C-alpha cells in the first residue's frame, strides 16, 4: 500500500512536472528580412540551450505596427511577455506604469544575474529612469554615421572623409566640380539633422532635460540659433547642389547607391544594405559637427529599439523572460547580432569580443558607431530624448523640414511652426498622463 | 391559427443573420467610438477621464483639421470626376468597337481586381523621383517630379492611383447602361441627321444619368473611405499634410498617435459629413436625374 502511494506520488510529481516542463513566452518584434532570420536563429539557440523555457518570436510588421498591436493586445488582455519598441515610443511605454515591468526590477525579482554597468551607458541612458534604473532592455541600437563614396572622393582628389560640416561643404564643392550630381543626402532627417545635431553640440532639444525630468511642462526647444543656422546652411547647400533631399526615413539611400550623391548621413545599421547595394568602394566616418560651434563634439544619440516586458504574466513566465534577456546580453550572442546586423554591441564585453575576433579589421568602418557613441560621457543633452507623442512630433518635424526644402518657408519660420505644433502634442500627452 | 404563427417570426428569423452582423460589426464599434469621443484616455487604457466635448473642441480649434477637410474635398471630387469622366469615355468607345469587343472590355475591367494597397505601390514605383520611369520621363521633358516635397504633385499621384482603380468599376456600370439604351432611339436620331456628338449628348448621356448619379454617390463614398490603402502605401498623408485626408487622419491619430478620444471624435464628424453629403445628393441632384 505504501509502495502504491509512493508510486502515485512520484507519478503525480512527474505529471505535474511535465505539464510545467516548458514555460512558453511570446516575443513580438519588428525585425523583417535578413535581420529577422538572424533573430529567429538566436531564439532557436536559446530554446535549444535549455528545456525549461521556450520563446516564441512573432513578427508583427514595422515598428509602429508592432508597438500599436502590442498596445491593442494589452487592452484586450492578450499581450505578449516581451515586445520590441522603437526609441521614439520610449516615453509612451515609460509613462504606462501599470503596463510595464521594468527590466531592472524583473531581474532583481527573479534573481537573474544583471549588472547595468556591463552595458554602454550611451545606450542604456535612453532607457533608464532618473535614478539610472534600466526600464527596458536595449536590443538593437544604431546611431547616425557618415557614409562616403571612396571612388568619387578619389576622383575629386580628396584623401580623407570630412570630420566637420565645414569640411562637408568644402569637399562637396570639389566633388561637384569633378562631376558629382550632389554632395550629400540624408536619411532620417529629424533624427540626424536635428536630434543628433543638438546632442552633438550640447544644446537641448526640449526642456526638462530633453524630457527626462518630467512629462509636465516639457516644451520643444529645437528652434534655437544652432538648429536654425544648420537648417539655413542645408537650405543654402540644397540650392548649390551640395545637399539634395531624397525623402523621409531612409528613402534617400538609393541616391547614394546610384552614385548621384557622394555622401550619405544615416543609420549605422544601414551598413548591411551598403555592402549589398553599393557597387563601389565606400567608407564609414563619424557624423560631422560644426567646428565653429564646439571644439569637441558630444556623443551621438541612439535610434533603434529596445525590449519591454509587459505586465499580466505568471511568475514562471517572468523567470523565462529574465533568463532570455540574460541570454540576449551574453557577449557571444551580442557580438553575433552586432556583426551580422550592424547594430551597436550593447555591452562592453561584446565590443571587446568583436575586436578580439578581428572583425573591425576585416570590416573597416563598423566600429565607427561604437567609438562615436563611447567617445565622451553623455551629458544632459546627449542622453537621448524622452518625449510623449514623439511619433507624431517626428511627423511634424518632417513636414517642417520639407517646407524648407521646397522653399515654402524660411528655416526659422518652419522650425517655429514645428515647435508650436509639437508643443500641442506634448501638452496633449501630459494631459492624458496627469 | 398555429399555421400562421411561425410566419410571423420567420421574416425576423431570416433577417436575423444580417442584423447580427450589422450589430457586431457596425453598431457595436460605432457605439464604442461614440463613447470614446467623450473620454480622454492614455494609450494603454489605464486611465480614462470623461471630458465631455473636449475632444471636439480640440478638433475644431486645430487648423490642421480644416486643412485635412480641404484636402479631402479636393481629393474626393477629383477622384469622382476623373473616375466617372474617363470611365464614360472608355465605355462609349468600347461599346462602339465591333471586332475584339470582349478583349477590350475584359482588359479594362482588370485593374479592379488589384488591391488598393498594391495599386498604390505600383504608382508609387512608377513615380518615384529617383527610379520611377514616369518621373524620369517627366524630368526629361522639363517637369521636375518630386512628390516627397511637392504637395500638389503628391495629390496628383494619389488621385491617379485612386482613380485608376475606380475606372474599371465605373466602366462596367456605364457599359451595362449603354447596352440598355434601345438602339432604335439612336438610329432614329441618326436618320434625323443628328451628329454622333449630338446623339451622345442629347440621348445617351441623359439616359445614362441614373447610372452616373449612382456612380457619383458610390465614388464619393469610395474616395472618402476606401482610399486608405492607396494613401498609406504612397504618401502617408505627406508632404506637410497635403494628402492627409480625413479618413487617413483618423487612422494616423488613432493608431499611430494612439489618441483614441481625438480619433473617435474625428470619425464621428466624418460619419456625419458623409451622411449629410449623401442626403444632399439625393435631395438636390437626384431631381435632375431622368429615370
Closest CA to A106 of A306, A304, A313, A305: A313
Q: What is the H or E stretch that residue A142 is in?
A: strand A137-142
Average pLDDT (B158-185) is: 91
What is residue B5's predicted lDDT score, i.e. its pLDDT? 54
How many C-beta neighbours within 10 Å does residue A166 have? 15
In CATH, what number is assigned to the domain containing residue B210?
1.10.3720.10
SS (H, E, C) A252-283: CHHHHHCCCEEEEEEEHHHHHHHHHHCCCCEE
**Any domain includes B44:** no
The DSSP H or E segment spanning B249 is helix B246-251
From the CA of B34, how many Å to the nearest CA of chain A? 18
Q: What is the pLDDT of residue A264?
A: 97
pLDDT in tens, B91-145: 988 888 778 888 888 888 888 888 888 888 899 899 988 788 999 899 889 888 8
Q: What is the pLDDT of residues A49-64, one digit of tens each?
A: 999 999 999 999 988 8
Q: Do A246 and B255 touch (CB under 8 A)?
A: no
- Which residue of B lies nearest to A246 if distances are taken between CA atoms? B148
Confidence class of residue B1 from pLDDT cuts 50, 70 and 90? very low
Whether residue A269 contacts residue A342, with contact meaning beta carbons closer than 8 Å, is answered with yes
Hey, which residues 54-73 in chain A have their CB within 8 Å of chain B?
A: 64, 68, 71
Neighboring chain B residues of A403 at a CB cutoff of 8 Å: 239-240
In a domain, B52, yes or no: no
CATH of A145-300+389-432, one of 3.40.190.10, 3.40.50.150, 3.10.20.600, 3.40.50.450: 3.40.190.10
- B291 versus B47: which is more confidently predicted? B47
* Pairing verdict, β A23-29 and A82-86: parallel
Higher pLDDT, A204 or B218: A204
Give start-end residues of each CATH 3.40.190.10 domain in chain A: 2-142+302-362, 145-300+389-432
What's the order of all strands across the beta sheet hosting A53-59? Answer: A53-59, A23-29, A82-86, A303-309, A137-142
C-alpha distances out from residue B168 to B34, B112, B211, Å = 36, 5, 14
* Residue B11 falls inside a structural domain: no
Q: What ipTM does this complex have?
A: 0.72
pLDDT tens by residue, B210-247: 889 889 988 998 998 888 889 998 888 878 888 999 99
Residue B11's pLDDT band (cuts 50, 70, 90): confident
Mean pLDDT score across all residues of chain B: 87
Looking at the complex, does the CB of residue A416 fall below 8 Å from at least one CB of chain B?
Answer: no
**Local confidence band at A80 (pLDDT 50, 70, 90 cut-offs):** very high
pLDDT at A35 over 90: no
Q: What is the distance in angstroms between the Cα of B272 and the nearest Cα belonging to chain A?
A: 25
Partners of A431 on chain B (C-beta within 8 Å) are 40
What's the average model confidence in pLDDT over A114-125?
Answer: 89
List the single best residue of B258, B259, B266 to mutate versus A (max A Cβ within 10 A): B258
CA distance A317 to chain B (A): 21
Taking an 8 Å cut-off on Cβ atoms, the answer to whether B43 and A255 are in contact is no
| Chain B residues with beta carbon closer than 8 angstroms to that of A71 | 43-44, 258
B86 lies in which domain range? 71-288
- Closest among B175, B123, B182, B131 to B153, alpha carbons compared: B123
| Average pLDDT rounded to a whole number, residues A127-145 | 92
Which residues on chain B are in Cβ contact (under 8 Å) with A253? none
Angle between helices A33-49 and A331-341 (to 10 degrees): 160
pLDDT given for residue B288 in this prediction: 62
B22-42 pLDDT tens trace? 999 989 999 999 999 999 888
Model confidence at A17, pLDDT cuts 50, 70, 90, reads very low
Query: What is the fold of A2-142+302-362?
Result: D-Maltodextrin-Binding Protein; domain 2 (3.40.190)
The total number of structural domains that make up chain B: 1
Interface mutation target, options B240, B249, B254, chain A, most CBs of A under 10 Å? B240
Position B50 in a domain: no
Q: Residue A181: helix, strand or coil by DSSP?
A: coil
- State how far residue B119 is from chain A, nearest Cα, in angstroms: 20
**DSSP-based three-state secondary structure for A310:** strand
CA distance A124 to A395: 25
Whether B8 shows a pLDDT value over 80: the answer reads: no
Strand partners, A245: none
- CB–CB contact B241 A399 (8 Å): yes
Amino acid at each position: 500500500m505504501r509502495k502504491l502511494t509512493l508510486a502515485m506520488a512520484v507519478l503525480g510529481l512527474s505529471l505535474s512536472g511535465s505539464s510545467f516542463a516548458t514555460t512558453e513566452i511570446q516575443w513580438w518584434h519588428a525585425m523583417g528580412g535578413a535581420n529577422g532570420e538572424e533573430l529567429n536563429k538566436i531564439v532557436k539557440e536559446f530554446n535549444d540551450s535549455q528545456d525549461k523555457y521556450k520563446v516564441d518570436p512573432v513578427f508583427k510588421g514595422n515598428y509602429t505596427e508592432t508597438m500599436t498591436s502590442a498596445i491593442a493586445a494589452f487592452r484586450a488582455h492578450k499581450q505578449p511577455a516581451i515586445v520590441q519598441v522603437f526609441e521614439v515610443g520610449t516615453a509612451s511605454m515609460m509613462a504606462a506604469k501599470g503596463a510595464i515591468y521594468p527590466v531592472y526590477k524583473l531581474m532583481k525579482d527573479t534573481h537573474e544575474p544583471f549588472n547595468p554597468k556591463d552595458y554602454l551607458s550611451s545606450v542604456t541612458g535612453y532607457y533608464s529612469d532618473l535614478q539610472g534604473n534600466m526600464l527596458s532592455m536595449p536590443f538593437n541600437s544604431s546611431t547616425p554615421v557618415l557614409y562616403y563614396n571612396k571612388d568619387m572622393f578619389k576622383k575629386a582628389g580628396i584623401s580623407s572623409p570630412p570630420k566637420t560640416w565645414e569640411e562637408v561643404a568644402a569637399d562637396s564643392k570639389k566633388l561637384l566640380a569633378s562631376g558629382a550630381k550632389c554632395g550629400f543626402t540624408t536619411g532620417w532627417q529629424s533624427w540626424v539633422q536635428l536630434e543628433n545635431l543638438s546632442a552633438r553640440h550640447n544644446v537641448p532639444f526640449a526642456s526638462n532635460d530633453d524630457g527626462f525630468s518630467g512629462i509636465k511642462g516639457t516644451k520643444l526647444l529645437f528652434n534655437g540659433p544652432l538648429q536654425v543656422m544648420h537648417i539655413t546652411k542645408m537650405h543654402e547647400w540644397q540650392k548649390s547642389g551640395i545637399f539634395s533631399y531624397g525623402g523621409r526615413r531612409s528613402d534617400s539611400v538609393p541616391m547614394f547607391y546610384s552614385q548621384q550623391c557622394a555622401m550619405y548621413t544615416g543609420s549605422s545599421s544601414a551598413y548591411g544594405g551598403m555592402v549589398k547595394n553599393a557597387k563601389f568602394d565606400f567608407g564609414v566616418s563619424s557624423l560631422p559637427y560644426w567646428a565653429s560651434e564646439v571644439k569637441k563634439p558630444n556623443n551621438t544619440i541612439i535610434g533603434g529599439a529596445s525590449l519591454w516586458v509587459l505586465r499580466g504574466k505568471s511568475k514562471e513566465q517572468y523567470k523565462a523572460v529574465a533568463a532570455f534577456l540574460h541570454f540576449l546580453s551574453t557577449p557571444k550572442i551580442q557580438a553575433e547580432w552586432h556583426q551580422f546586423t550592424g547594430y551597436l554591441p550593447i555591452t562592453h564585453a561584446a565590443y571587446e569580443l568583436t575586436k578580439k575576433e578581428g572583425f573591425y579589421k576585416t570590416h573597416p568602418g563598423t566600429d565607427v558607431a561604437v567609438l562615436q557613441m563611447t567617445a565622451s560621457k553623455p551629458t544632459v543633452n546627449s542622453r537621448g530624448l524622452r518625449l510623449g507623442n514623439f511619433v507624431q512630433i517626428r511627423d511634424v518635424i518632417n513636414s517642417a523640414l520639407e517646407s524648407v526644402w521646397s522653399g515654402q518657408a524660411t528655416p526659422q519660420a518652419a522650425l517655429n511652426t514645428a515647435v508650436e505644433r509639437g508643443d500641442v502634442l506634448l501638452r496633449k500627452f501630459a494631459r492624458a498622463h496627469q | 391559427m398555429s399555421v400562421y404563427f411561425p410566419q410571423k417570426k420567420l421574416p425576423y428569423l431570416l433577417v436575423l443573420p444580417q442584423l447580427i452582423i450589422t450589430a457586431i460589426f457596425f453598431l457595436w464599434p460605432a457605439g464604442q467610438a461614440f463613447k470614446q469621443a467623450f473620454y480622454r484616455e492614455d494609450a494603454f487604457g489605464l486611465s480614462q477621464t470623461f471630458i465631455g466635448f473636449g475632444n471636439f473642441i480640440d478638433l475644431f480649434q486645430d487648423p490642421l483639421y480644416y486643412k485635412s477637410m480641404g484636402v479631402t474635398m479636393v481629393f474626393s471630387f477629383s477622384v469622382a470626376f476623373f473616375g466617372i469622366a474617363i470611365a464614360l469615355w472608355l465605355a462609349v468607345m468600347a461599346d462602339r468597337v465591333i471586332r475584339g469587343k470582349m478583349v477590350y472590355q475584359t482588359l479594362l475591367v482588370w485593374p479592379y481586381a488589384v488591391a488598393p494597397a498594391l495599386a498604390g505601390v505600383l504608382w508609387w514605383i512608377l513615380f518615384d523621383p529617383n527610379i520611377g520611369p514616369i518621373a524620369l520621363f517627366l524630368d526629361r521633358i522639363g517637369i521636375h517630379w518630386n512628390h516627397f516635397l511637392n504637395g500638389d504633385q503628391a495629390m496628383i499621384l494619389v488621385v491617379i492611383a485612386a482613380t485608376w482603380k475606380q475606372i474599371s468599376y465605373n466602366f462596367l456600370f456605364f457599359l451595362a447602361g449603354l447596352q440598355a439604351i434601345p438602339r432604335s432611339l439612336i438610329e432614329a436620331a441618326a436618320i434625323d441627321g443628328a451628329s454622333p456628338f449630338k446623339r451622345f449628348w442629347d440621348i445617351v448621356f441623359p439616359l445614362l444619368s441614373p447610372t452616373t448619379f449612382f456612380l457619383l454617390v458610390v465614388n464619393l463614398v469610395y474616395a472618402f473611405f476606401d482610399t486608405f490603402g492607396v494613401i498609406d502605401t504612397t504618401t502617408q498623408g505627406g508632404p506637410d499634410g497635403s494628402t492627409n485626408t480625413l479618413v487617413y487622419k483618423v487612422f494616423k491619430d488613432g493608431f499611430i498617435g494612439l489618441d483614441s478620444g481625438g480619433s473617435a471624435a474625428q470619425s464621428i464628424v466624418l460619419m456625419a459629413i458623409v451622411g449629410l453629403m449623401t442626403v444632399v445628393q439625393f435631395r438636390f441632384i437626384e431631381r435632375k436625374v431622368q429615370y
